[in-house]
Amino acid sequence: MVRLLRVILCGFTLLYTTPQFFAQETAKQSAFEQIDSFRAVACDDLMARLDYYAYQLEHKPGTNGYVVYYAERHGLQGKLDSYLAYIKPYLIVVHGISPDRIVMLDGGERDALTFELWAGTERPSLRKNSADGKAAFGLTSRKYDEGFADYLVDQGQRELWTYDLCPVEAVNLKGFANELRAEPGKKGLVVVYSERGQRARRAWIVAGLMKKELISYGVASRRIITRYGGVQKIPFAELWITPENVR
């Protein structure tokens, strides 16, 4: 009889405590939700993903958006900088999300540039990969970025044209200027390529416009070197950080 009573009491205990246990676990699991994950994408794809992310955040009151980014091991710093300079302002300006709700988190490095979009009620803890893949680049010069670069003719005036809707497929001149200001003992090398079928003079015009923009960002003219690289399928440029003695 005593054994039977114990079995009955245990049954009642499980009946009342199990739902509470599962409720706690469910709350714990729902504290973070991954909305999307992607690698380097074209501008229209990036905007579509951010639009969907903003929609999810707008319909999840009380949550914040956590953008976890992973730099590409041995990749170009300029590409990562372009995404970082675009994602948060896009969510704030285009969708009106409060800046306090968008948190950018460095996840370390991966084999490819990667972004994860999360919604959560508290800041996640990340186990960052501390391996410094860039240490392998023990070179005197390093490429910061590369991408599309051309110029438009507007009312008879030349205007630099590096991107249309977003900067992730173009050269990141502002980020390049920031790097050069942080390394006063280095120079910036701008290598410009003309489009197939276009004269080299067009590339030199682009190089001059890029140099002018870098100067407007606070880089001294003497620290900027421009060179013509030849012909590519599209108007193209490379941004290099080089030693002071490069001419």
Residues 6 or more apart in contact with residue 117 via CB below 8 angstroms: 34, 35, 36, 37, 49, 53, 65, 66, 67
Of the candidates 83, 79, 53, the residue with the CA atom closest to the CA atom of residue 66: 53
Q: In the predicted model, what is the mean pLDDT of residues 207-215?
A: 97
Give yes or no on whether 32-120 and 139-243 have one common fold: yes
Domain boundaries, the chain: 32-120, 139-243
CATH 3.10.20.600 fits 139-243, yes or no: no
Instruction: Look at the pTM and tell me if it is higher than 0.85.
Output: no
**CATH fold of 32-120:** 60s Ribosomal Protein L30; Chain: A; (3.30.1330)
Comparing 4-8, 37-41, 229-233, the range with the smallest average pLDDT is 4-8
CA distance 247 to 231: 22
CA distance 147 to 169: 6
CA distance 180 to 178: 5
The model's pLDDT over 142-170, given as tens digits with 9 standing for 90+, comes to: 999 999 999 988 767 789 988 777 888 89
Residues 6 or more apart in contact with residue 46 via CB below 8 angstroms: 38, 83, 86, 166, 168
